[in-house]
Amino acid sequence: MEKKDIIQSFKDSLFTGLIALALFGPIVGLRTASKGEGLFITPQWGIVFLLVGLCILGRFLINLNSARKTEITFFSKFTSKFSAITEDKAKHFAITAILFAVVFPFLPFTDRYFMDVAIMILTYIMLGWGLNIVVGLAGLLDLGYVAFYAVGAYSYALIATTFGWSFWICLPLAGVFAAFFGILLGFPVLRLRGDYLAIVTLGFGEIIRIILINWYEVTNGPDGITGIPRPSFFGLPFKRSPDEGETSFHLFFNLEYSTMHRIIFLYYLILVLALITNYFTLKIRKLPVGRAWEALREDEIACKSLGVNPTNTKLTAFAIGAMFGGFAGSFFATRQAFISPESFTFIESAIIVAIVVLGGMGSQTGVVLASIFLIGITEMFRDLEQYRMIAFGGAMVLIMVFKPKGILANRKPTILMHGDKK
């Protein structure tokens, strides 16, 4: 390497340090502390200089590295591992993953905490798969997907608490309601694409949340809905002491009562729901409507010139995507037994979109990997409390740096003329 390069790298890293100083200076350097009768600022310049120094050093190393035109072995190992997971291998991965998911509750190290995290990840996988229809296939960037999740959750909660119908009746109803809202959103945004569509859908998500907060008579406002019935195992509730004339799950199967039964049941419930979503998406992708979605994503004007009705095609994408969001919402409501508008903020939409985009638009396996990666990493750093979102951001940055097109960006044709050559 030439001397000029080193000087250039050094200059560049000093500039990085300057930016880091501007950022860390006020954020980390000035700390407010309350002492006695007011707030005082305690400077923490030591940490600032440490952080800035780290940034300069890191940037310098990266620069040196790229000047040498070779990658640091650690990074190249990391990326090659990820690029090794192509769609071809994805099938084996999928089968292994499903088998693992099925036996997961009975593995020796699985405890209550792991189960909760797994249920959460599965919920996000299902939402990711649902949104993948809208964003990945139809190419309609929907930043308000959480609205359908909320509609599903509230539909389930309201129907179940008002009429006392069972989970298995309320679930499809919640899906239908959510699909209806999907069409409702679909109509006004038919003409919009890209950024404009994203803004309107974002607004729609907020509208739903604000209605939930303010429509006190129906939604109980910010207090939320409590006492949402838990699902039963084909009529057998998960209760320690069942009501008169009822048999509960543990009595029927002659088991010791354990709260884990219900958790395991919920786990399998969301697993099945998610797999149904996946199966449905994989199927419909190969049907004319699925191909029309993808064609619409590629070129709307060409679609029109071929006689494809863009209105119907978009609306079905919105409706079906919303329906799966609604199913996931019902599950969320029955798992928590309590819902409030707070659970349906914009950050949820952002996380789901991040999962779809980072997973590789349109890739089903990518959604799984991105969910595990993003949610799992954020969970791993739970001890950091409010700083754990840094881990979330860090995970996003890592994916964007190493896989800018998403973890799995390969698209496989929906139909082959010459069969599978590879």
Q: Which residues bind another protein (CB under 8 A)?
A: 280, 283-284, 286-289, 291-292, 294-295, 298-299, 301-310, 411, 413-418, 421
* Closest separation in Å from C-beta 418 to another protein: 6
* Closest separation in Å from C-beta 421 to another protein: 8
Nearest CB to another protein, comparing residues 264 and 296: 296
* Closest separation in Å from C-beta 318 to another protein: 15
Nearest CB to another protein, comparing residues 175 and 224: 175
Nearest CB to another protein, comparing residues 298 and 342: 298
3-state secondary structure of 90: helix
Token pair recorded at residue 223: 């207090």
Q: Which residue has the tokens 């945004």?
A: 189
* Closest separation in Å from C-beta 308 to another protein: 5
Nearest CB to another protein, comparing residues 246 and 299: 299
Q: Which residue has the tokens 């939402």?
A: 127
65 by Cβ neighbours in 10 Å (0-12 / 13-18 / 19+) ranks as: middle
Q: Do residues 177 and 334 touch, judged by C-beta distance below 8 A?
A: no
The span from the first CA to the last CA of the chain, in angstroms, equals 42
Q: Which residues contact 128 (CB under 8 A, 6 or more apart)?
A: 352, 355, 356, 359, 367, 368, 370, 371
Nearest CB to another protein, comparing residues 290 and 326: 290
What b-and-e string marks burial along 36-61, b requiring 16 or more CB atoms within 10 Å of the CB? eeeeeeeeeeeebeebbeebbeebbe
DSSP code string of 59-81: HHHHHHHHHTT---HHHHHHHHH
Nearest CB to another protein, comparing residues 208 and 292: 292
Nearest CB to another protein, comparing residues 83 and 309: 309
* Closest separation in Å from C-beta 362 to another protein: 9
Token pair recorded at residue 107: 């593995």
- Cα 145 to its chain centre, rounded Å, is 10
Nearest CB to another protein, comparing residues 176 and 350: 176
* Closest separation in Å from C-beta 191 to another protein: 12
Q: How far is residue 240 from each of residues 106, 164, 253, 262, measured CA to CA in Å?
A: 22, 21, 13, 11
Token pair recorded at residue 244: 């008169």
